[in-house]
Structure 1
């Protein structure tokens, strides 16, 4: 992590923070910026304005732990955002460091072989390492198999099919980028992962926009509205499970509530993906 990343995060967090009534009163109702002014952040955090300005410019050095805590309070950061702020400032040293490249485990294939619903094994780069038969069929139908190494970020940013699939593409992209940033914080010694994220940030303005925004909480489960290329729409659930034996490998399951159109569509997908038998 560089001081430039810390500076970008501080600027984005300041613009997202909410002024108090007293701060609005002092401005006389003539605010020209969204969020807080720099002097308001400095006042809230009990820091000098010149020092805070240098931090936002990437010239303030590494803040002390006390200064980071004060900034987190001033910017109204939640727990995930506080952890990310400290990871940016400290290089992620507060997180445990796992092996850079855990050995792939054959039993991952055995796990997938027992599941009928769309399920995927993914790595820290958002690359699909394996999937159930219905999972591979789902990826093919939504156009997500032609991107390099079946990478989720590449598909989201470079394939028009991703924009057509999700009812709220913005939420999916925010979750994807926030998870990548979280992985970088958890594994500060992984130069390859940091390079992967930095490369996307440098060559794709939209990725950079999400990268520099305050990180959002990455829920392990939820529901998303999808619009299938064949013309149907449904609410599908997703659940992420971290594999305890390899903390940078994830099992992603798709599901649907009973009796819903989504359940019927998933059953159809499972039937079409089932191996044919000859008798």
Structure 2
């Protein structure tokens, strides 16, 4: 018997993520506390994913993205907290708090699992997709840092360094999302006999995000825009990821009390 329900564990994770976002707001010197404060949220978030999978296994729990994305982002922030500039860290933690709040208020934890998901490609599709989107959010945080902190002598953040980090994480996220789409096409072909189900709105919005970052990599590699323009493009990635990959999976409003 499970002591905590998935939704209760999700609320604990969201609360921990909000608490972890407070120290960097008070002082950049308190960023070291973020790692410690994120651990309870990560453990609670892992419990949510495990509970949903346990209920659906070996099939795939539907609408896992809004729960899995905060977990992937929290793991990245926890592991790399020292490599974030103060502004990038604040931005990443703000995104984490907002995503976890959205998952609490608009959960889809009452739907049946996919019927045709016995192939491991289905699970790779979801896991790689969430990891790729988390990398996009880290890229967006560094893009915002390039706009706010670049040129600040006290912050010791150079425009080139911030853009380089934004590009690295954008490229890594792009690679992971490409692998995710490839696994999704194999899963679709094995289950439905076609590599693409065009009437799936979530798939189309995910591909829109992929094209957005295709353009971003093109801009970075060709230097078609000036550095500030590329920084703005990278920073806007958060809104693209949220609107195109998170919103389609959010359910109806549910009171947290």
The normalised TM-score by structure 2 is 0.26
Normalized per residue, the structure richer in strand is 1
RCO higher in structure (CA 8 A, sep ≥6): 2
Q: Larger C-alpha radius of gyration, 1 or 2?
A: 1
Normalized per residue, the structure richer in helix is 2
